[in-house]
Structure 1
Amino acid sequence: METTRTPSSGDPIRVTSELTSDDLAVARAVLTAAVVDDGREAVSEAGRLRLRAGAERPGVRHFLQLAGGRPAGYGQLELAAQEGGRATAEFAVHPELRGQGLGGRLAEAVLGAATGQDVDFWAHGGHPAAARLAARHRAELVRELRQMRRPAADVPGEPVLPAGVVLRTFRPGEDDRAWLGLNALAFAHHPEQGSWTQADLADRMAEPWFDPAGFFLAFRGDDLVGFHWTKVHPDGLGEVYVVGVAPTEQGSGLGRALTSAGLRHLILERGVPAVLLYVDADNPAAVRVYERVGFTVHEVDLMYRVRRTGEAG
């Protein structure tokens, strides 16, 4: 599907569900420049994984914006799969072309494509321009995602597992189904993580950074009851990518033990200088766990919601 959407003024914005190589070049030019200028990614990991020529994901739309023939903006919209769900949007303007109204026109095109759906959009790093756009569209702040970091100087002690629990690493192709099941259970409340499919898992396992030796699974007998998936970024930083614990193990100390196991791997085996993680501000229990092992807030990502359906709450 390919269309062209013309905002209230300015050059037409190309909208497509399947990127060509030229589209991909525009998107990457914008996003690469934004990373250099802002010091952070303008689009989430999930969004970046969709940036592949010829790849089409159901419900995903890409928005390519040019100004005078040069890459000016990129947006991505994921429509809600179910009635009553919310669409999710991310977009960025090339740093050299900011302040000219291009972001407003791009936002208009992205929001206009989500007819009848509420739209959540991210402001990575809490950029002031995003706050201004949110005010213009009467969007409300609904989520604060904190990036926390800790130096590698202090190595956690050996993990103390609950009685009857053993730890081993992930086996691709063998553990996929069990992990997806526990991930869905552990993150049933989470708007993104809990909805992962086999395709989402396969996308990550195909990435250069994937290392099963840093993907720890906790078993009680034959039952998978917890996990800690770590990641090492191209710049050498480590990440507590995701930690999940079965509801039946909450309060047992398993989450703390898994966190320690992953941190020790990143620091002692991979030699990272520091470790980062992301946690929602409205999850104080998780925030306290991470603060106790030395993490402090580094920056925040903000999510704003544009209400289109009239539903309350």
Structure 2
Amino acid sequence: MNSMPSPLALRPFRPEADAPALRRWITTRAELVTWAGPAFTWPLDDAQLTTYAAEPDRHTWTAASPDGTPLGHVSVRGTRLGRVLIAPEARGRGLGESLLTLAVARAFGELGLSALDLGVYTHNTAAVRLYEKLGFRAGRVLEDVEEVDGVRWSALQMHLTAPDR
């Protein structure tokens, strides 16, 4: 297997440096809910991101290009992978797969987790396909868990077990 170096590197999310980019990538309430469910209020602000980054047992990372430009974000809290986002201007280049591959490796490696879970809205089919490609398996669907702009959204719960060590 030819292993190409990742176009991204994960570094700790620093609200003071990284919040402006994250806020720039999320331009509507629907995008905010897609990214984080109901955890934040619109509009997203630095105070909310600072509180989020300080949550106990949460590991937050910025995915940066080789020159240090922030291009993505991801976090793990407990065994829950979430808050996955690629900068709009960087989408369509396979960076989501790179970001998730790095995050899963961190979760199973340095964090020592034996499994990961996530939730993704069922209408976010590109994300569902990517998670499946990386080995996540669909579990149950939680119907109508959120309402955005008058539309009820359902969430798919997914699971990935660490490879044998």
- Normalising by structure 2, report the TM-score: 0.68
* Alignment CA distance shift 1:173-1:166 (3 Å): same
Aligned equivalent of 1:218, options 29, 47, 64: 64
Q: Secondary structure at the match of 2:62?
A: strand
Q: 2:15, 2:50 within 8 Å by CA — same for their partners in 1?
A: no
Which residue is 2:49 aligned to?
Answer: 201
Residues 80-133 of structure 1 deviation map (CA, whole Å, 9 limit, x = unaligned): xxxxxxxxxxxxxxxxxxxxxxxxxxxxxxxxxxxxxxxxxxxxxxxxxxxxxx
For the 8 Å contact 2:13–2:53, the answer to whether it is kept is no
Pick closer, same or farther for the CA change 1:300–1:199 going to 2, 3 Å: farther
Could you tell me the percent identity over the aligned residues? 27
* Corresponding residue of 1:252: 93
Tell me how far apart the structure 2 counterparts of residues 216 and 268 of structure 1 sit (CA, whole Å). Answer: 18
What residue is the counterpart of 2:6 in the other structure? 161
Q: Give the match for residue 171 of structure 1.
A: 14
Alignment match, 2:131: 290
Contact 1:219–1:226, Cα closer than 8 Å, also in 2: no
> How many residues align structurally?
141
Gaps of 5+ in 2: 37-41, 152-165
Greater Cα radius of gyration, structure 1 or 2: 1
- The answer to whether the 8 A contact 1:158-1:261 is kept is no
Shift of 1:280: 1.1
Which residue, out of 260, 264, 274, partners 2:115?
Answer: 274
**Any unmatched runs of 5+ in structure 1?**
1-156
RMSD (CA atoms)? 3.2
Rounded to whole Å, the distance in 2 between the matches of 1:255 and 1:208 is 26
Is the CA contact (8 Å cut-off) linking 2:64 and 2:72 kept in structure 1? yes
For normalisation by structure 1, the TM-score amounts to: 0.39
CA deviation map 1:158-178 (0-9, x unaligned)? 78434xx55433224232222
Describe the SS at the equivalent of 2:100. Answer: helix
In 1, Cα distance between equivalents of 2:91 and 2:72:
10
Amino acid at match of 2:50: A
Q: Which residue of 1 aligns with 2:24?
A: 181
> Once the two structures are superposed, what CA deviation does each residue of 1:126-151 show, in whole Å capped at 9, x if it has no partner?
xxxxxxxxxxxxxxxxxxxxxxxxxx
Report deviation, 1:274.
Answer: 0.5
